Amino acid sequence: MAVDRRERVTLRLCTTALGRAAGERNSSVGESLDARLGSTVGQLGARTCPQCAADVPYDERFVMWCSACDWNVDPEGEAPARGRFEAMQRRLAHRHGEQLHAELLAAPNASAVTNRGVVARLVAVCVHALTAALAGAGTLLVVLGWSTLVQPIVGVILLLAAFVLRPRFPRLRHDGRVLRRADAPCLYALVDEVAAALGTRGVDTVVVDAQFNASVADFGLRGRRTLHLGLGLWEVLDQQERVALLGHELGHYANGDPRRARLIGTALYSLHTWLYLLTPVRAVHLRRTALEMVTDLLMDVPRWAVYGVTLLLERLTLRDAQRAEYLADRAAVRVGSAAAAAGLMDRLLIGESIAAALRTESVRAQTRIGGVEPRAAAAGLWERIAERAATVSEREYERLRRVGVLRGHSVDSTHPPTHLRRSLIGAGEPGSAAVVVGPETADGIAAELAPARSAVAHAVIRDLAG
């Protein structure tokens, strides 16, 4: 799922400072919005917008902003581009992002396989083939040139290089609580059901931690599947939104994304190792000798070639990574329903706020503010976090969506902006959920997660204060 960091916006106490006015909006849109949301004007008070004089609802828990003219909608604002090159990159990212969104809007059954992806995989295979060639040449030199002195030495160097450049498969992460199938039969059964509905198999391991995130990844040589569930996100979702979340994650498997990511990821790792090996290390203050200048020049050619291939592979995969997220969202809709997938998108907008709330809980307990005891703070942590998420007003969600629209596309994000993901979810057929969680399953999963919830809550209270 991986939340786009640029989409994370902090809930802040109301600020009366005049924020950046970000674009003009038709006032009737704003008025109808506040009417539609059952404006809180009068309940919590109102102020006047300094920009268009409209009434602005006042709620001290959230940023005060004007829905008619967007006054103070994004008080933090986006960091300005550093130089012309970054400005151009942003424009390109925006154009590509809009194109991709339009392309998928017009193709409800778009395939996960693209020409770009095929080229990227070919490049990755070539990178690994080069490593295999080094290993082969090294072995031949050692075996066939045994009678000479030089050939085995060169052969060993080539074998060493191949060893350093070999594809490395990630290991299972141990920075969370690992739940095996026997520990959580109900959770695994739900994961299996979601996977079957999408035409794939379930996972081999579930790892639970405190993050506001979820993801899937392969680990080990045999490509065993792991599902990472961050309780910061899981706990603020309702049952059907959790199904949508599992649908999104397993949708990545159904579309073959982790397999492709593994091939390309290992190739990128090899390329970065090449770059490291080809970069000369020497003290900058020393003058280079003529010989060193010649060797540097000789190394420049392969270094720039490797750099070019690395850049090409990263560019080719970035756009497909965004496309994969949209397609995984479609899987979320199929298993969890469009409403649940849209709800999930909304929750993603409050990630920064939830992360800040977890830190605050930790600081309060560690400093004993208000007599809070760490053990007691950990006990009801996830309930308080869920409660906090439930009280975020629809008006605040609307503001966060508008911030997403204003900030647009990130240059290097593997995720499209959340508002565009939500718009694509809304554009499809509503349809019914393929998987529905009954109360028994929900209770079973809650009981299975209880030890991990408690352990992770204690770790949050102990560690997040720093």
Least spacing, CB of residue 83 vs Zn ion, in Å: 31
Token pair for residue 305?
A: 């070639």
State the pairing for strand pair 55-57/205-209: unpaired
Tell me: does residue 386 bind Zn ion (CB under 5 A). no
Give the full edge-to-edge strand order of the sheet including 214-219: 177-179, 205-209, 224-230, 214-219
- Cβ-contact 74, 407 below 8 angstroms: yes
Q: How far apart are the first and last CA of the chain?
A: 26
Least spacing, CB of residue 276 vs Zn ion, in Å: 30
> Element (H or E) spanning 318, and its range?
helix 290-336
Which one, 22 or 316, has the nearer CB to Zn ion?
Answer: 22
Size of the site for Zn ion (CB under 5 A): 11
- Cβ-contact 60, 51 below 8 angstroms: no
Which one, 68 or 400, has the nearer CB to Zn ion?
Answer: 68
Which one, 323 or 453, has the nearer CB to Zn ion?
Answer: 323
Least spacing, CB of residue 264 vs Zn ion, in Å: 16
Per-residue x/- marks for Zn ion, 51-90, CB under 5 A? xx-x-----------x-xx-x-------------------
Tokens 């909304």 correspond to: 346
Per-residue x/- marks for Zn ion, 318-337, CB under 5 A? -------x--x---------
Which range of residues in 42-50, 78-86, 262-270, 416-424 is near Zn ion by CB under 5 A? 42-50
Q: Which residues pair with 46 in a beta bridge?
A: 57
Which one, 54 or 363, has the nearer CB to Zn ion?
Answer: 54
Least spacing, CB of residue 248 vs Zn ion, in Å: 6
Least spacing, CB of residue 25 vs Zn ion, in Å: 8
Which one, 73 or 134, has the nearer CB to Zn ion?
Answer: 73
Which one, 165 or 214, has the nearer CB to Zn ion?
Answer: 214
- Cβ-contact 226, 172 below 8 angstroms: yes
Least spacing, CB of residue 330 vs Zn ion, in Å: 12
Which one, 65 or 382, has the nearer CB to Zn ion?
Answer: 65
CB-based contacts of 92, cutoff 8 Å, min separation 6: 411
Rounded to an integer, what distance in angstroms lies between the CA atom of residue 104 and that of residue 324?
A: 11
Give the number of other CB atoms < 10 A from CB of residue 161. 17
Q: Which residues bind Zn ion (CB under 5 A)?
A: 1, 49, 51-52, 54, 66, 68-69, 71, 325, 328
